Amino acid sequence: MSTHELQHTRTMRIPRSRGAVSGLLIIILGAWGALIPFIGPWFDYSYQNGRSWDWTAARGWLEVLPGVVAIVGGLLLLVSANRVTASLGGWLAALAGAWFIIGQSLAALFHLGSVGAPLSTHTSGIAIAQLGYFYGLGALILFLAAFALGRLAVVGVRDVRAAERRFERKRATDLDTDQPLSGAAGRPGQGLPPGSDTVPSGATQRLRDDTAHRGDAGLNRDAALDRDAARNHGDFPDGGTGRGATRATGNQPPEGGR
């Protein structure tokens, strides 16, 4: 890994915990915003007609769509270890929160329909419905997204140290997997394809073990040959094989030829 790659890793890699809490809260709020129009009527917390699971274009554009976008952004913040991807999730969540706040004001301009008015006739009930469906919900999502984006914009000391540890592990792995192979004759890369002089360290160790095993076998074979030669040149009593005596006699010139 080069110095440029190390600098890139320092700025791009982040711990997954960096946006985990914000992402989880944004997912919960996004699910609330997308589902509350359909389940709110069960406990008299609704807009317009008060019927549960009643689909309209206005609900789709102004409530379901930003809720789903917030969920996607929260998921990216929750699981991503890349600064760019997590930042994308933060911006998606921020857009979803902003749309919850201003969507009703722009609905007539873009002909998206209207969700109507809260069913409650009390001032407090109307305020709670508006906050829970749109303004307060959007403000919370926007705040959490901004908080996450602020944390993602900072390259902390922990990020730098984590990147340096990854760099050291990568360099150690490269050195371990690119060791030169020395054969029995001392030639590097023996037995490898042309142009290759390195092998993985595991293969190097196996070849060294095989070389040592062959060396031990050769020593044992030489020792056995020495023992056979000593027996063949020794004296044998009568009734023996006579091979040693025959060879000893055969190696001597005839008595008349001296």
List pLDDT tens digits, range 45-104.
988 767 788 899 999 999 999 999 999 999 999 999 899 999 999 999 999 999 999 999
Q: Tell me which of 17 and 229 has the higher pLDDT.
A: 17
Q: Tell me which of 162 and 58 has the higher pLDDT.
A: 58
The three-state DSSP-derived secondary structure of 44-72 is CCCECCCCCCCCCHHHHHHHHHHHHHHHH
pLDDT band at 119 (very low <50, low <70, confident <90, very high): confident
**What pLDDT sits at residue 77?**
96
**What pLDDT sits at residue 87?**
95
Q: Where are the domains of the chain?
A: 3-164, 199-251
**What pLDDT sits at residue 250?**
46
CA 79 from centre of chain: 11
The predicted model scores a pTM of 0.61
Confirm if 19 and 152 have CB atoms less than 8 A apart.
Answer: yes
**What pLDDT sits at residue 221?**
64
190 pLDDT exceeds 80? no
23 pLDDT exceeds 70? yes
**What pLDDT sits at residue 120?**
87
* Cα separation, 80 vs 91, whole angstroms: 14
Range among 25-39, 50-64, 154-168, 220-234 with highest mean pLDDT value: 25-39
Q: Tell me which of 51 and 11 has the higher pLDDT.
A: 51
Q: Tell me which of 85 and 258 has the higher pLDDT.
A: 85
10 pLDDT exceeds 60? no
* Cα separation, 180 vs 197, whole angstroms: 6
Q: Which two tokens stand for residue 18?
A: 């960096």
Confirm if 159 and 14 have CB atoms less than 8 A apart.
Answer: yes
**What pLDDT sits at residue 16?**
79
* Cα separation, 153 vs 83, whole angstroms: 8
* Residue corresponding to tokens 């004296």: 235
151 pLDDT exceeds 80? yes
* Cα separation, 145 vs 247, whole angstroms: 99
pLDDT in tens, 163-174: 666 667 776 776
Confirm if 145 and 73 have CB atoms less than 8 A apart.
Answer: yes
